[in-house]
Structure 1
Amino acid sequence: MKYSEWKTLDADEQKNTNWHRRPPVRIASIFTTLFITALIVVTLGISKNSTVHINRKPTKTEAYAMAKVFIKDKLKQPEKAVFASSATALFIDTATSIYYISSSVKIENNGGRMERSVWEVKMKYTDGDWAERNSWQPVAVTITSRP
């Protein structure tokens, strides 16, 4: 039945006909639409917050990783440096956000031989993402060769 034919029917004929002007909206389709909309909003909210770990202090492992970056800056051939798997000594002053880290590295000397050196880094965490270099301020960086 066309809409133009619907207008020609009287009230009793319209009641007896099972044709409706608009299809009924099902509750399932309403909830599905709301669920998809909520999922999109949550996903977009999470994707905008890419740095979740900003509001906490860096761990010992994270501080050690950043200290190695500062040591590599001081080396002549940082690509050939072999760092120890963990820090020899690590002290964190949480009140002032100062990190003292000590460890060793094997570097190539002028003769082409690998020699072991001990390094120490004192750095200050200035807030932000721990993996970004500008979140740290190196206070003292020393490398001492050991025979």
Structure 2
Amino acid sequence: MKYSDWKDLSAEDRKNINWHRRPHIKTATLYGIAFFITVIIIILGISKNSAVHINRKPTTKEAFETAKIIVREHLEQPSTASFPDNTFTPIVDSATDSYQIQSTVKSIDAGGKTIKSTWNIKMTYKGGDWSERNSWQINEVNIK
């Protein structure tokens, strides 16, 4: 039966047919949108949690990554800095969460010459996310 035929029926015939109208499109649409938004919120919540580093003591490699950022800030032209991949010497005092890291960096000085410098940094991990700058206390930075 077509909807146009339904309009032509009498009230008595409508009761006897037991034909029910479909739910409003608006209701189904609202439930669909609510479901979609809920799924997006859950996915974003999970992806945010995977980016947060666990509150633990950083490894020497993680401390080296943070130290490179700090040393780069102390160079004349930080954008030209080139660090060795995994060539560094760490000294870790796990009782005080102190890290002393030594390595080299190649950069361009103010005169345009490429120089290779040896750097040494002493820093203390204060807690929190190791990849954040404010989780570290910088005690000493030497670039020679």
For the criterion TM > 0.5, the same-fold answer is yes
% same residue: 49
Match of 1:60 in 2: 60
Aligned 8 A contact 2:107 2:116 in 1: yes
Residues 113 and 50 of structure 1, relative CA distance in 2, 3 Å threshold: same
Write the distance in 2 (CA, Å) between the matches of 1:47 and 1:123.
30
Write the distance in 2 (CA, Å) between the matches of 1:135 and 1:67.
12
Aligned 8 A contact 2:77 2:109 in 1: no
Deviations 1:26-65 (A, max 9, x none): xxxxxxxxxxxxx99x868745645653331111111001
Aligned 8 A contact 2:123 2:139 in 1: yes
Match of 1:110 in 2: 110
Match of 1:128 in 2: 128
Write the distance in 1 (CA, Å) between the matches of 2:88 and 2:131.
21
* Displacement of 1:107: 1.4
Match of 2:78 in 1: 78
* Displacement of 1:109: 2.3
Residues 106 and 43 of structure 1, relative CA distance in 2, 3 Å threshold: closer
Aligned 8 A contact 1:64 1:87 in 2: no
Match of 1:99 in 2: 99
Write the distance in 2 (CA, Å) between the matches of 1:52 and 1:113.
39
| Structure 1 residue runs without a partner (length 5+) | 1-38
Give the alignment's TM-score, normalised by structure 1.
0.64
How many residues were matched structurally? 132
Residues 43 and 139 of structure 1, relative CA distance in 2, 3 Å threshold: same
SS in structure 2 of the partner of residue 117 of structure 1 = strand
Give the alignment's TM-score, normalised by structure 2.
0.65
Match of 1:88 in 2: 88
Write the distance in 2 (CA, Å) between the matches of 1:76 and 1:128.
30
